[in-house]
Chain A
């Protein structure tokens, strides 16, 4: 093997290691042959003319040239094979055999022209024998060993008998030995036996090494595949888990499963609410026509029952399996094999994850394990999405219910008020004092009911963002505060409360909000301050800028909030005990509404208070860009105009 492989070569090596190595060795052998050919020519020239040895230069140089010429042809051949096709292995083998055969014929010629049985070049046969042992099947190695023995013996015999002329190398050996029977016999004996023993040892060793290599390559391949699957599994789990929308979870699951497993298609069937049917919930890679098939009836489908029971089931060939309900449609779709894994919820089976292949028997044991793993994390994602969907539906139902109930309550309460007002106004005749008193009480109760309903409606609207999304505009907080203060001017005057408002001069302190909703939130704070401040007290509304936010403080010198009540202040229907004692009627929703609205617009509200000394509510709201940075000139203090 070469030291470094390109990624493409690495893949080929993993696919067919022996063939790949053979192909690479052939190119290396070809390079070596250039040196061999040139070497023959060079050594001949040196031996003949520099060392003055008695070699015959012409046939030797000619053989060298022939070696170079056929090497050129082999190289062209090798370029065509490219070592990149799985189908090239036969060609590579043929090329290897032809090359060795050609080399041996050339070596035989060299041996003959350099002294026959006396030539030391006979040892060169060992190179190719070793090469064959490493690269070719064992049979070929022994075949070549036999061929080399025949060639060398043949030359020895032909030269001995005088059929071929003997080319003695003058100056190398003192005497001619090709006619010495003991020499020829012993040389041949040692040569042939060494050749075969070497062939045996080399093939045995290379066989073991090759088996070992194959194992390593296979393990490497499995490891690589396992890593790839793990990686894609992780990625797919991330993708599937990154959403809570049920349909999206299902679609991502089918798509990623089909892509990771490299199959024709993938479907998810979910168990219908009735539990008797399995209906398609998501598909990937299958035609619309195939998807038109109906739901699967669990009772009539043994395969579905088996999978829902918790098994991973493979159908190796759908034409030979009667467990599929729609096998004719599946064959028409080009499906030949399926693999199904159960999607199991905590309490019940959720459905079936199935992959489709266009070849029979294409799913392995590893595929089954893999699909089971996908199905396991898929089930978790699906169940999470189902819970999320249920919660969403519940939220929506709750919102609709609250809106419906409050609207339905509002209308009759309004009518009752109108009727009572008509009575108490004397429009239906003069009332006695007792009657008037009772109707007055009924009216006050109805007013409270009306307030409660209005509060609930506001709360529902704030919690669900009913108005936030409707009409958000730039609200001038200074102007909004002025309007509210104006509304409370007379009530506070009547009560003898000093109502002050402080707003910075300059550019508009604008916040994006629905004006009516924001008015509702701020009014609740001001109303509380006026309500819970005794005569002679003070209420101060101060608007200011804090960085990119507007800050509003509503400070009163009222009854304050007991420390133990502070943590519950923003809880629905909660009223502090001292507040209850002071003002009988109150819904306990005003602050909740204020907080819901303010936080919905990206603001915050906090409270600091000491019982008996007063309370400060601090509200921050985001400022619209460009509306910030007014001149902060002291105060526009004093009574509200």
Chain B
């Protein structure tokens, strides 16, 4: 475990899912921040400077996560933070809509529901 816990920001509008993810992440020793919308997510990214963002694609507003990533790409202060996109869409029909610009660090595209072990493995690749 790192001496100063790494911070992970969960951007998801489903409190139940946030609760489950928080429990998994905290048990692995991460510090967790939450945001229930893309807008709140941007605020929290600026305030808490997380080490990784778990971003839901579909929130209350469809493709909210998608538009948020576009805003992140345009923000020099934020676009170095790695992002894991999480979506309930099984196939990659939306994948090509996400900016693959090198300035935006979208690391992976994960389909819901995410197995706890799998999630932790993925996160470990980017947060050390």
Contact = CB atoms under 8 A, between A and B. Distances in A.
B88 A410 contact: yes
Nearest to A418: B20
Contact of B113 (A407, A417, A425, A467): A417
Interface stretch (B11-19, B37-45, B46-54, B97-105): B11-19
Interface string A47-66: 00000000000000000000
A407 to B, nearest CB: 8
Given A410-B88, A421-B113, A427-B20, 15 more contacts: A411-B88, A414-B17, A414-B112, A415-B14, A415-B17, A418-B16, A418-B21, A419-B19, A421-B115, A422-B23, A427-B23, A467-B93, A470-B93, A471-B93, A516-B91
Interface string B1-32: 00000000000001011011101100100000
B121 interface: no
Interface in A492-543: 516
A421 B17 contact: no
A289 interface: no
Contacts of A414: 17, 88, 112-113
B64 to A, nearest CB: 15
A454 interface: yes
B27 A427 contact: yes
B61 interface: no
A419 B93 contact: no
Nearest to B23: A427
Contacts of A470: 93
Contacts of A411: 14, 88
A422 B93 CA distance: 28
B116 A427 contact: yes
B123 to A, nearest CB: 14
Contacts of A73: none
20 contacts: A407-B88, A411-B88, A414-B88, A414-B112, A415-B17, A415-B113, A417-B113, A418-B16, A418-B17, A418-B20, A418-B114, A419-B16, A419-B19, A421-B113, A422-B23, A425-B24, A426-B27, A427-B24, A471-B93, A516-B91
Interface string A414-444: 1101110110011110000000000000000
B62 to A, nearest CB: 11
A516 B116 CA distance: 26
Nearest to A428: B23
B22 to A, nearest CB: 9
A450 B117 CA distance: 19
A197 B48 CA distance: 130
Interface residues of B, number: 20
Contacts of B91: 516
Nearest to A422: B20
Residue among A427, A428, A471 having the largest count of chain B Cβ atoms under 10 Å: A427
B11 to A, nearest CB: 16
A425 B117 CA distance: 8
Nearest to A414: B113
Given A410-B88, A470-B93, A471-B93, A418 B113 contact: yes
A411 B14 CA distance: 10
A407 B90 CA distance: 11
Contacts of B21: 418
Contacts of A467: 93
Contacts of A415: 14, 16-17, 20, 113
Contacts of A454: 90
A467 B93 CA distance: 9
Interface in B85-128: 88, 90-93, 112-117
Contacts of A410: 88
A467 B92 CA distance: 12
Nearest to B92: A516
A421 B113 CA distance: 10
A273 B70 CA distance: 48
Contacts of B92: 516
B12 to A, nearest CB: 10
Nearest to B93: A470
A415 B24 CA distance: 14
B14 A422 contact: no
A411 B86 CA distance: 13
Contacts of B116: 421-422, 425, 427
A415 to B, nearest CB: 5
The 5 closest A-B pairs by CB, nearest first: A414-B113, A422-B20, A418-B20, A417-B113, A427-B27
B20, B21, B115, most chain A CB atoms within 10 A: B20
Nearest to A410: B88
Contacts of B14: 411, 415
B89 to A, nearest CB: 10
B88 to A, nearest CB: 6
Given A425-B117, A470-B93, A419 B20 contact: yes
B21 to A, nearest CB: 7
B8 to A, nearest CB: 14
A450 B111 CA distance: 13
Nearest to A426: B27
B5 to A, nearest CB: 16
A426 B117 CA distance: 11
A428 B21 CA distance: 11
Contacts of A421: 20, 113, 115-116
A488 B112 CA distance: 22
Contacts of B19: 419
Nearest to B112: A414
A467 B89 CA distance: 13
Nearest to A447: B113
Nearest to B91: A516
A516 B92 CA distance: 9
Nearest to A446: B113
Given A410-B88, A427-B116, A471-B93, A422 B24 contact: yes
Nearest to B19: A419
A418 B10 CA distance: 15
A425 B118 CA distance: 12
Interface in A446-473: 450, 454, 467, 470-471
Contacts of B88: 407, 410-411, 414
Contacts of B16: 415, 418-419
Contacts of A427: 20, 23-24, 27, 116
| Interface core residue of B23, B88, B114 (most chain A CB under 10 Å) | B23
A426 B20 CA distance: 11
B20 to A, nearest CB: 4
Contacts of B90: 454
A143 B14 CA distance: 113
